[in-house]
Chains A and B, each alone.
Chain A
């Protein structure tokens, strides 16, 4: 079964708006939560990541919000730009080694000029 549930499947946002993608998990052993960005024809690339000892991490226009008690985390893209149009994957891991990294199903973001 899907270890990490991601929504929405697709998202359309106006330029300058806020894009929000949500993920949820059940395994409380997960202790690392990265987000990946993937452009068409390319492999996923790490965007930002968080560990559960903090509730928020911000890097430029990208913010991860983490709610440990609800077992949910989300990606917020502020001032969304057409160049942000891509597919975003959340993921979760509970041990060292990327063989223990579980991905969400992805969100295709389209930012309209």
Chain B
């Protein structure tokens, strides 16, 4: 029972490079989320998808795009990476209306 799977686990990029972070869940959840976690900042919502076919901005969407590929998969894209986007990125999912997101183990991204 995998839950929420994120790939890759680690990545180093150069400023200006692009990258897509992948996320897949096997819990048949409707809603999926992307958070970033920074020291002293807690977790902040980047984008979310309440259901397949919809996406909405969260608290810190600038510099990111998302795609809800199907019910299982939700990807996060950095078009032109900046050092300020160095962070740990977490994908999460929940049933529709559920207040309890289930998190993956994160992607640690460093941008030089």
Contact with A along B86-108 (1 / 0, CB 8 A): 00001010101111110111100
Per the 8 Å Cβ criterion, residues 32-59 of A in contact with B are: 32, 34, 41-46, 49
What CA separation (Å) do A9 and B56 show in the bound complex? 31
Please tell me if A19 contacts chain B, counting CB pairs below 8 Å: no
Contact between chains at A98 and B106 (CB < 8 Å): no
Q: Tell me whether chain A's interface is mostly helix, strand or loop, or mixed.
A: mixed
Which size class do B's interface residues fall under? 20 to 34
With contacts A42-B105, A44-B90, A98-B33 taken as known, whether A93 is within 8 angstroms of B99 at the C-beta atoms is yes
Contact between chains at A99 and B97 (CB < 8 Å): no
> Which candidate, B14-22, B41-49, B67-75, is the interface stretch facing chain A?
B41-49
Closest to B59 in A: A102
Which size class do A's interface residues fall under? 20 to 34
> Which chain A residues lie closer than 8 Å to B76 at the CB level?
none
New contact pairs (9) apart from A43-B105, A44-B90, A98-B92, CB-CB < 8 Å: A6-B42, A34-B99, A41-B106, A42-B105, A43-B4, A93-B99, A97-B98, A99-B31, A104-B42
Q: Which B residues form the contact surface with A (CB < 8 A)? A: 4, 31, 33, 40-45, 48, 50, 56, 58, 90, 92, 94, 96-101, 103-106
